Amino acid sequence: MVILADTNIWCQYFREGQKTLSALIEHDFLAIHPLIIGELSVGNLPNRSQTLKDLNAFHPVKAASFSETHHLIEQNKLWGKGLQWNDLSILASVIASSDVVLWTEDKRLAEAAGQFSVRYEP
């Protein structure tokens, strides 16, 4: 099993450190998703070039397609719950992966991940 840390976890890590994330990095238990790299890349990253290179070295999670994400939303009535498209696309990707769980501090996304038993709680 690998853990996909959401953008908010990474932001906390870059701002003030995050012990659990540091341990996951050290023990190679982290996954990464293209949307998370994209969200992070529009911010001010420390040592930008190296950080982006390092992020791309984690276990990749295959991105869910538009159709897969839309299907997840429609089949599970996930509209109108304060979740963003990127959140649900990441969730669809995690659900489709057999060995990935999602770590987020976003309350709504954490609840949705819990519905599908893919929520990581450190």
**For the chain, what is the mean pLDDT?**
96
Q: Specify if 122 maps to a domain.
A: no
Q: Is residue 120 part of a domain?
A: no
Q: How many domains does the chain have?
A: 1
Quick one: pLDDT at residue 106?
A: 96
Tell me: the pLDDT tens digits for 62-91? 999 999 999 999 999 999 999 999 999 999
Is 66 part of a structural domain of the chain?
yes
Task: Identify the three-state secondary structure at position 56.
Answer: coil
User: What pLDDT does 40 receive?
Assistant: 97
Residue 22 backbone phi and psi in degrees, to 5: -60, -45
8 A C-beta contact, residue 69 and residue 33: no
- Please check whether residue 121 lies inside any domain of the structure: no
Query: What 3-state class would DSSP assign to 24?
Result: helix
Q: Residue 95's pLDDT is what?
A: 98
Residue ranges making up the domain that contains 110: 2-115
Q: What is the CATH number of the domain that holds 31?
A: 3.40.50.1010
**What pLDDT, on the 0 to 100 scale, is given for residue 70?**
98
Q: Which helix (H) or strand (E) holds 4?
A: strand 2-5
